[in-house]
Amino acid sequence: MTIEEIAEAPGNPEPSGRVRDLFLRQQSFAPTLRASTARDRIARLEKLGKALRARRADIHRAGVEDSGKPPEEVDLSEIFPVLHEIAQARRHLAKWMRPKRVPPTRAMLGTRAEVRRIPKGVCLIVSPWNYPFNLSFGPLVSAIAAGNTAVLKPSELTPNCSRLIAGIVAETFPPEEVAVVEGGADAARRLLALPFDHVFFTGSTAVGRQVMKAAADHPSPVTLELGGKSPFIVDESADLDRTVRNLVGTKFVNIGQTCVAPDLVYVHERVRDEFLRKLKARIERVYGGDPAAQRASRDYARVVDQRHFERLQGLLDDALARGARIVAGGDLDPQSRFVAPTVLVDLSAGSRILEEEIFGPLLPVIEFSDLDAVIREIGFRPTPLALYVFGEDRERIERVLDGAPSGGACVNSSVIHFAHGNLPFGGLGASGMGNAHGEWGFRTFSHERAVLVDRFGLSHLLFPPYTGKVRALVAATLRFFT
C-alpha cells in the first residue's frame, strides 16, 4: 500500500504504542524548545547542515538507486535548497524571532501591543518520493527555526532515500527533538491519528484532502503543498531560444516528476512551428537525438515505480487514441521504467493528459491566437501551483499575471521561484494552502500571538453595571471610534 492510497483507506487506526510513545516524548520536550534562543536553534540547524554535507555521497547513491537521478541533479534539487534554507535562517532568525511592536488604534490608547511568534509545538512533516531529501529537510529547517519538535514521515516509494533520511536524523538529533517514522500509508494514517500541533504535507491533491480530514479530528492546522497543471504560456513576443532552453531544463529534470514542472504549454500560433522545431532540437541536444542515446544518457532519471510508469503510458495511449500527434519522443521501456521526453500536439478536448496532472516527461502543446481565451481557460481550471509566461510585451505579461490565478508565477523563467529564499512558496485552492521557505516557513510553524499591556487604558469605564453614565460613554465610543 502506497501513500497515494490513503485516499481509498477507511478511517484512521489507533496509533501504535511506539508511535504514541514517540509523540508523547516530543510533547514533553516541546516546552524546552519553546524557551530556546536564536543561537540554540541555529546550532541545531548547523548540525543538520554538517550532516548533509558529510553524507553527500550517500545521498547521491540513494538518488541513483531509487530513481536514477544524476548526482548533479541531486546536488541542485535535493541538497542545495536545504543548505540554502539553513543559510537563510542563520542570517535572519534573530530578526524573525524578535517581537514586532504595533501602534495602538484610537480605541486602544493607553495600551502597548506587540506580536510574538511562538512555536506551535509538535509537528508532523509528511514528504513525497519525488524530492525526498529536499521536501523532508526543507520543512524541517523551518520547524526547527520556529522552535518545534518534529516527526518526519518520508515516502516508502524511495526506500533507500527513506532509510538514509532516518539515519541522518538519528545521527543528528535525539528522538525527542526530531524523529523519523518509516512505512507506507498505514504508518501515515497512524501518525495522523495523533493531535499534532501542525501538519505539513507535500503530495497529491487527493491525499491532501484525506490529510485535512484526518487533521480536522483534533483539529490540527495544516499546510498543504500539492500540485496541478502548471501552465507555460509562450507569447508571440517571446525569445524562443531562451524559452525552449528554460522549458527543457525545468520540465524534464527528475523526468518531469516535479510539482511545479510545466504541465501544459500554450504557444501563440504565429510562433508555434518555430517553437516546436527549436524545442525538439533542444531536447535532442540535451538528452540525445534518438531513443538509444536518450536511454543511455546519464543526465536523465527514471519513473519512480511501475504503477506510475503505467499511469504515464495510459495518458499517452489515451491522447494518441484521440488523435494527438507526437513531434518528439514517444519511446517507452517498461523494464527500465524509461519514458522519453515526449512532446504532443493536436490534442483533442477530453484527453486525460489535458485534465490530469502529468507528473512525468509528457508535454502537451496547445496553439492559441487569443491570449484572453487562455487566461479564461486557466481561470476555469483548478488553480495551479505555478504559472509561467514568456514574452517581451509587458502589457500582455501583466494581463496574464492579473487575470490567471496560481500559487506562484515566473516571467521568462520557470520553477526557480521555488529556490528564492525571500519569496513565499505555496499553493491556492486545489494546489494547496499555506506557505513555505525562509521567513514564510518560519511563520508557518509559528503561532503569531497577540500581546497587549494595559498601561493606563480606559476600557474599565465601560464595564457594567450599565448606569446612565456608562451608557453615555458607550454611545460616545460608538460615535467617536467608528
> Is residue 123 among the annotated active site residues?
no
Q: If DSSP codes are grouped into helix, strand and coil, which group holds residue 385?
A: coil
Integer Cα distance of 230 and 363 in angstroms: 11
Torsion from C-alpha of 133, 68, 262, 228, nearest 10 degrees: -60
Asked if residue 9 has pLDDT above 50, the reply is: no
**Could you say which of 78, 85, 156, 225 is catalytic?**
225
pLDDT number for residue 11: 46
Active-site residue (options: 123, 161, 259, 410): 259
Domain at 231-426: CATH code: 3.40.309.10
Catalytic residue flag (residue 356): no
The sheet with strand 386-390 has its strands ordered as: 325-328, 342-345, 362-368, 264-268, 231-234, 386-390, 408-411
pLDDT of 167-215, one tens digit each? 999 999 999 999 999 999 899 999 999 999 999 999 999 899 999 999 9
What is the rounded distance in angstroms from the CA atom of residue 257 to the CA atom of residue 158?
A: 13
Residue 91, CA distances (Å) to 45, 87, 95, 421, 424 in order: 12, 6, 9, 12, 17
Q: In the prediction, which pLDDT does 10 show? A: 41
Give the residue range(s) of CATH 3.40.309.10 domains in the chain: 231-426
Render pLDDT for 148-172 as a digit per residue (tens, 0 to 9): 999 999 999 999 999 999 999 999 9
- 10 Å CB burial of residue 243 (0-12, 13-18, 19+) is buried
pLDDT tens string 429-448? 999 999 999 999 999 999 99
For residue 5, pLDDT beyond 60? no
Every domain of the chain with CATH number 3.40.605.10 lies at: 3-226+432-448
Cα three-residue angle 90-164-22, rounded to 5 degrees: 80
Residue 15: which pLDDT band, with cuts at 50, 70 and 90? low
| pTM of the full structure | 0.93
CA angle 256, 261, 266 (to 5 degrees): 110
Mean per-residue pLDDT of the chain: 94
Query: In which band, very low, low, confident or very high, does the pLDDT at 13 lie, cut at 50, 70 and 90?
Result: low
Peptide bond between residue 71 and the one before it cis (omega within 30 degrees of 0): no
Q: Are 193 and 406 in contact (CB under 8 A)?
A: no
| Class at the top of the CATH hierarchy for domain 3-226+432-448 | alpha beta
CA separation for the pair 316, 274 (Å, rounded): 24
pLDDT for residue 14:
59
Cell numbers at 63, concatenated? 538518488
